[in-house]
Amino acid sequence: MFNDRLRDVAMQVESCLAEMLLPLGTAPVAEAMRYATQGGKRIRAFLVMESAALHGVSDAASVWAAAAVEALHAYSLVHDDLPCMDDDDLRRGQPTVHVKWDEATAVLVGDALQAMAFECLTRPELHPDPSIRLALVASLARASGAQGMVMGQALDIAAETSTESLSLDQITRLQALKTGALIGWSAEVGPVLAGDDPEPLRRYAGALGLAFQIADDILDVTGDAAKTGKRVGKDAEAGKATFVSLLGLNGARDRARSLVAEAEAALTPYGGKAEALREAARFVISREM
């Protein structure tokens, strides 16, 4: 059920992204933008479209918010992979944009994808009421900007150059900003589009986002590059504090499992209708645990 829906979401989102990129033709930056938006798990898009479906909002509407968050996520990956940031050569099993093209192209691709994300949210298909679309522009700007994702990335980079290790509280806050803010935004799109209370999905996304990051830290220790599509073992190599270094492998697994239980419990008000979201929560920690 979850896997079918994930595939279906990915197809719909990719068709929107292709439509947005079509007018750009074959300019080098357009090719690199297409490359950067390909692949990935599309978890954020899934959260957008599944939270929307749960609140009676059609896929034809919510897919534009899903395309927005996937474009925004793609921009953040292209910039995070730059040599001056995390310096990654491999992403989703393919060379990163600055490796395949060059650093200037990677900077510009990220910049253009961010603009495209906000443009997706202006599409009239998303909601008949422009004030709702505008609210999503404002909340995506906050979730991705200097009070959200960018601050998380800045804290992460500062931690790498610092001699003091982060505490569990500090890492939890860092991750809530770096990955949690966008995951939270995604899960709240449904209630926002429907004018309903976002609280249950906000709690779900808070627990899910943290579980997702703990699973990533575990994968960095137990995974291999062939399966994860990116370089592994680099946290330990960099002497970086992670959930695994702070909690141990078993402690991290236990914490991830209890967060997934917490995420599932937050969905109680939705009853059986939220089964795909429950499966999603179990999925994020199932990879290689």
Contacts with a copy of itself by CB under 8 A lie at 23-24, 27-30, 33, 75-76, 79, 82, 84-85, 102-105, 107-108, 110-112, 114-116, 118-119, 121-122, 129-131, 133-135, 137-138, 140-142, 144-147, 150-151, 153-154, 157-158
90: which strand partners? 95
In this complex, which beta carbon is closest to a copy of itself, that of residue 102 or of residue 197? Answer: 102
What are the C-alpha distances in Å from 98 to residues 93, 144, 145? 15, 22, 23
What are the C-alpha distances in Å from 188 to residues 54, 58, 59, 113, 116? 11, 15, 15, 22, 21
Distance in Å, CB of 215 to a copy of itself, minimum: 25
In this complex, which beta carbon is closest to a copy of itself, that of residue 145 or of residue 248? Answer: 145
Question: How many CB atoms neighbour CB 48 within 10 A?
Answer: 30
Distance in Å, CB of 56 to a copy of itself, minimum: 22
Q: Where are the beta strands (DSSP E) in 19-161?
A: 90-91, 94-95
DSSP-assigned letter for residue 128: S
Tokens of 71: 């474009």
Distance in Å, CB of 243 to a copy of itself, minimum: 23
Picking from 6, 14, 65, the residue whose alpha carbon sits closest to that of residue 277 is: 6
Distance in Å, CB of 64 to a copy of itself, minimum: 12
In this complex, which beta carbon is closest to a copy of itself, that of residue 60 or of residue 134? Answer: 134
In this complex, which beta carbon is closest to a copy of itself, that of residue 90 or of residue 137? Answer: 137
In this complex, which beta carbon is closest to a copy of itself, that of residue 87 or of residue 254? Answer: 87
Rounded CA-CA distance 248/268 in Å is 31
Distance in Å, CB of 151 to a copy of itself, minimum: 6
Coil/strand/helix, residue 241: coil
